[in-house]
Amino acid sequence: MHGSGSAEEPGAAGGTGVDHEFLALERELAVFLRRARASSGEMAREVHPELEPAAYGLLVRLESAGRQRATELAAYFGVGKATMSRQLRALEDLGLVAREPDPADGRAWLVRLTDEGLARFRSVRDARRGRYVRKLAGWDRAEVAELARLLRQLNARAEE
């Protein structure tokens, strides 16, 4: 049986409905997310001093998924078209992304990383990976793989 709760409610403390495992998860995720937001801000500034922290995720997505329509990006990030348009315009003004006609639909545009945007992004990403390697140097590779698997599972469930 999972948890250390009472017979009344598995995983609950003394039948009070407080699930300690989920409270611990919530607490650790809050710390992790706070650090991730701060890290995204730092990485965004490393890519370009004027880059907004929220726009860094767009670079990540464009590098991994390739050219995308603005509507696809907005749907992926769960933001409105106006917000996405503003963020893309800022990235375009910084020379990090460019728009090109969609060959499948001449009325639509695809957004892609520019050569400069790709080079800047990869430089920062590689430095970040180096920090992960150093921070997790004492971990077994299987533990790192398990953490990645669990986070992938959590992310997949969040998208459902």
In tens, the pLDDT along 116-130 reads: 999 999 999 999 899
Asked if 110 and 99 count as a contact pair (C-beta separation under 8 A), the reply is yes
Q: Which of 66-70, 102-106, 135-139 has the lowest mean pLDDT?
A: 102-106
Distance from C-alpha of 64 to C-alpha of 24, rounded to nearest angstrom: 32
Res 5: pLDDT: 44
Res 8: pLDDT: 41
Asked if 81 and 70 count as a contact pair (C-beta separation under 8 A), the reply is yes
Asked if 118 and 66 count as a contact pair (C-beta separation under 8 A), the reply is no
Distance from C-alpha of 22 to C-alpha of 50, rounded to nearest angstrom: 38
Q: Outline where DSSP puts E strands in 5-158.
A: 97-102, 105-113
Q: Among candidates 43, 3, 41, 9, which has minimal Cα distance to 23?
A: 3
* H/E stretch holding 88: helix 81-93
Q: Outline where DSSP puts E strands in the chain.
A: 97-102, 105-113
Q: Tokens standing for 145?
A: 């793989």
Percent residues over pLDDT 70 in the chain: 89
In tens, the pLDDT along 56-86 reads: 999 999 999 999 999 999 999 999 999 999 9
Is the four-CA dihedral 14, 17, 21, 23 of positive or negative sign?
negative
SS3 51: coil
Res 9: pLDDT: 46
